[in-house]
């Protein structure tokens, strides 16, 4: 494939992405992140990152500051507790709970 052809394909993908609303863009990006993280986990494992501690160290390098990680952990724990406590059923309900827990946390000045 020539560089010109690659550029043409990339421009079409970028144009399509730019036409999406913000919610759809986030879904696309989160899907990409999930796929790349899965590949990264496999590659890190193949390279010798085996134990949980090794992987935590590997993931930590250049990632987030401790304050942001703690806020993220708090958001995750609050969402998990709310889903469990309220016995939430269904993807739409779970997503709504996650959103409602995240909104106040994401507005904290970090």
Contacts of 71 (CB under 8 A, 6+ apart): 105, 108, 110
pLDDT bucket at 28, cuts 50 / 70 / 90: confident
56 and 6 co-located in one domain = yes
8 and 37 co-located in one domain = yes
44 and 8 co-located in one domain = yes
89 and 58 co-located in one domain = no
pLDDT value at position 110?
58
87 and 97 co-located in one domain = yes
Place of tokens 């550029």: 7
Burial of 101 (0-12, 13-18, 19+ CB in 10 A): buried
69 and 58 co-located in one domain = no
52 and 101 co-located in one domain = no
- Domain count across the chain: 2
Q: What is the 3-state secondary structure (H, E, C) of 74-90?
A: HHHHHHHHHHHHCCCCC
How many residues in total does the chain contain? 110
pLDDT value at position 109?
65
pLDDT value at position 39?
83
The residue range of the domain holding 46 is: 1-63
What digits encode the pLDDT tens for the residues 35-78? 877 887 888 888 888 998 988 887 777 566 777 777 777 888 88
């Amino acid at each position: 494939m020539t560089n010109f052809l690659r550029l043409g394909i990339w421009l079409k993908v970028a144009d399509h992405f730019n036409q999406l609303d913000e919610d759809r863009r986030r879904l696309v990006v989160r899907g990409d992140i999930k796929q790349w993280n899965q590949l990264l986990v496999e590659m890190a494992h193949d390279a010798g990152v085996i134990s949980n501690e090794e992987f935590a160290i590997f993931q930590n390098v250049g990632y987030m500051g401790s304050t942001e990680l703690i806020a993220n952990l708090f958001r995750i724990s609050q969402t998990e507790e709310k889903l469990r406590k309220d016995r939430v059923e269904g993807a739409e309900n779970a997503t709504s709970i996650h959103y409602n827990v995240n909104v106040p946390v994401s507005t904290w000045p970090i």
